[in-house]
Structure formats: C-alpha cells, structure tokens
Amino acid sequence: MEIAVERVFTNEILARAASLFHVTVEENPLGDFENYIFKAKDKNDKGHVLRLTHSSHRSKKEVEAELDFLRYVAENGAKVAGPLYSTSQNLVEEIGAEDGTFFFASLFTYAKGEQVKGEESPYWGDAYFEAWGKAIGQLHRLTMNYPKTDYRDTWEEDESAIVNELEDEKVKEIAAILMDEIKALPIERETFGLMHGDIHPGNFHYDGKGLTIFDFDDATYNYFIHDLAMVLYYSVLFTPWTLEKKTEFACKQLQVLRKGYEYEHRLADSWYESLPLFLRLRDIGLYGTLQKKFKGKDMPEDFQKLSDELYERIIKQEAIVNI
C-alpha cells in the first residue's frame, strides 16, 4: 500500500467498516496491495471478506459500478464471490479519514475451494485448466448483455494511468507503440466488453470441479482475448523455467484452456494471434504497478528481481512466451 494511504488507515476505520456490515474481522489483513482485505465472520459464524478501498485508488461510483457488474453476473449463474449488503442496505459504505479522504467498504461471500498454487497443487492439470477456460468464457458470454457503464475504465485509460507515471522514457515510448497496435484491433460485441481483467490464481478458488472468482477491482472494458492471455502469463510468471519450457507449457495449456472457453463462448482463430501483444502489455502494467507501489520505499528483493526481469523483456520487446 502507498505510504499516504498507510498513514490514514486506522483501527477505528476498520472497526467502523465491520460495524456497518455487522461482522467481526481478523486483526491481520489477507492482503494490502491495492485494497485492504480482511477475513470476516457474521453473527452465524459464516465466513466473508471485508474490503476497504481508498479514494485515491477508486471513486465511490467506480466501486459501485464494479459491484453492480459482480451482482449481475452472480444473478445470471456465474460462480463468483458476490457482494453483500450492509445493515443500511448498501453495497458500498463510505468512511471518512482524518485527512479528508475516504475509504469505501464492501463485503463479499467467501469463495469456496482453495487457491491453486502451481505445480505443487494436486489440482494442477488439464481438468483445472479446462475449468479455468470455461469460467472465463461464461463471464464473457454474460457481459455481452450487460448495460454500458461510464464508471469503469477502458483498458487504454487503465494502462495509460500506469504508463504516465513511469519515469523511464524508453519504457513509455515502447508502451505507446504497443498500445497503438492494440487500439487498431476491431471492437465488437462478441470480442470486447466489461470483464474481470485479472483472473489469475490469486483471484479465485477451485474446489476440484469449478472456479469461484473474486476481486473484480480491475474490471475494465477490454478485448476478451486479454483474459486468456492472463492465464498463460500468470501460469509461467513465477516458474524458474527457461523460455523454451515456458513456451512449450503455454502452447499445451492454451489448447485445453480454449476447449473449456469454447463451451461458453468462441473467438475467431485470428484473435489468438494477438496474444503476444497482451502478454507484453501485462509486463508493462505490472512493472509500472511495482514502481508505483514501492515509490519512496525499499523494494523487497523478490519484487526487485521480478521488476528487473520485466524491464529486460520490455526493452527487448519480447513476450514472456513465444506463442
């Protein structure tokens, strides 16, 4: 979390958020990268997740738009960790901080299943990859009928906000050229819409049969192929494999992923040819996010190593896999 946000987040704000949703929360957060995330329980001891979003990250309207989309897909059969109402029947509650900024509190069901942590998980394999693709395809099918909202960014707005804060001019130049290539792709109802945008294993649980997806904080208007690119990207990002092994794995994974995806939705073969563009864009987005999050602070060694690897690929204009 940015230093300015850490300074104004207090135990009193957390307690206020918990009371508004009538839950108790664990003392230590589950996460604090872009939002504060806490495990919570209601009066019946049922598990939930309480999230607090600072106004420097999202406006109240943006959070409300995210949760309305989440509510829509949940009501139409998607397996997601849906939003829950406060005691005042609001999906989002606003809490003031001492500096005049705000935190926006929201509560979600706790996703059943568990996080699949790469090859060490017994679930890692074709059945899991197929379920992953099916879940993404279902969301893409549903979003085609979702009304347009002005309170969620397009991919271009989202990425530009990150790129504009970069200090490295060479990276900014490469990013601008890459984004122009992506902007040249056609925008159609069957291939572009509001979507999760970040369906990696840290944002869903798996129970051996299907995924339950959560954290729609990055929901943006984007090309559907982006979500499939993210599967390939995060499946190999933290592996020690060579480029050749990563590429071999990604090619095999994509076949199974696409099989699951096409149970719900289809993209023309030509869209899969654009995968390298979105893989490269993710490198830039992740690199920029790391630079922002650790600005003014020492970057931990593992994050510094990742940042260096991202930078090298960006400058070489290479994707994480040759697909």
- Tens digit of each residue's pLDDT (9 = 90 or more) over 173-198: 999 999 999 999 999 999 999 999 99
103 neighbors 7 (Cβ within 8 angstroms): no
pLDDT of residue 219 exceeding 80, the answer is yes
Domain architecture of the chain: domains with CATH: 3-109 (3.30.200.20), 118-316 (3.90.1200.10)
Task: Give mean pLDDT, residues 138-155.
Answer: 97
Taking each continuous run of H as one helix and of E as one strand, the counts in the chain are 11, 10
Confidence of residue 83 (pLDDT cuts 50, 70, 90): very high
What mean pLDDT is predicted for residues 20-46? 92
**DSSP 8-state code for residue 111:** P
CA distance 129 to 258: 9
Residue 105 forms beta bridges with which residues?
Answer: 52, 93
307 is written with which tokens? 């940042």
Assess whether pLDDT exceeds 80 at residue 87: yes
- Helix ranges (H only) for the chain are 3-8, 11-20, 60-75, 126-143, 155-163, 169-183, 225-236, 243-261, 269-272, 275-293, 301-316
